Amino acid sequence: MKGEETMIEHSRKSYTSNRVVIKLSGSIFGEDTTERKIRAYADMFSSIKEVQPIVISGGGRIARHYIDLARALGSDEANLDIMGINVSRLNAKLLLAALQDKAYPKIPKDLEEVALAAESGKIVISGGLHPGQSTNATSALIAEIVNASRFLNATDVDGIYDSDPNINNNAKLLKRITVQQCLRLLESESSMAGTYDLMDIVALKVIERSKIPTRILKAEIPNILNSIQGGIQIGTEIVS
């Protein structure tokens, strides 16, 4: 524990570049993914100036497909979590392959390795890290350990609504929401592997304790780029 705390302090004191953590939706890596699509995201991250992107890939539909099959076959939740982590790391490797030497050459396996990778100053690509944690929670913890200036959760929806837009046609997109309001909205979230949605309790508690500026937005290239460098406020801001 002491070694991990030292690593956190070292990371916070020694970096010189602005760091932004981006949780990238697993939907980017679906079964219809093409080389061109992955390369477009890689090119976008490479084009960012004066900011060090630290990107965490989600597992997406492929992870959920494997998890559902394994659950039906009798696998326990812990092993299902590990399966989801492995898929997210495969997705991360696709992005790493497109970035080549512009990114740190390894996919980190824990928070200590993420902190060390961030010291390189290069783009860092990660997948999930620990069973029982969504990639949203992992991303929030990574944002905390590298002292990121922002955490962007780039997902497959425009942001957080006051009700389910798939059910309620009058659902309103919230421009700003507190952690406590978000917890109330998401209190019915399932904790089973493969069911994590926009945020979960662990991610929100980390955001709250570290006061990390957080935004949920749709994972489209212009949205991510404008949010990082264009100063355009897109999606939903979560405030502590």
Question: What is the CATH number for 156?
Answer: 3.40.1160.10
Residues 6+ apart with CB under 8 A from 192: 77, 80
Residues in the chain where the model's pLDDT stays below 70: 1-17, 188-197
What are the structure tokens assigned to 103, written together?
Answer: 């990114």
* CA distances (Å), origin 176, targets 172, 214, 216, 234: 12, 10, 10, 10
Domain that holds residue 223: 2-239
Q: What pLDDT is attached to residue 123?
A: 98
pTM here?
0.86
pLDDT for 213 equals 94
Domains identified in the chain, total number? 1
For residue 188, the model assigns a pLDDT of 55
Q: What is the pLDDT of residues 20-56, one digit of tens each?
A: 999 999 999 988 899 999 999 999 999 998 999 999 9
- Quick one: tokens of 192? 């089973």
For residue 41, the model assigns a pLDDT of 98
CA dihedral 49, 24, 99, 149 (to 10 degrees): 30
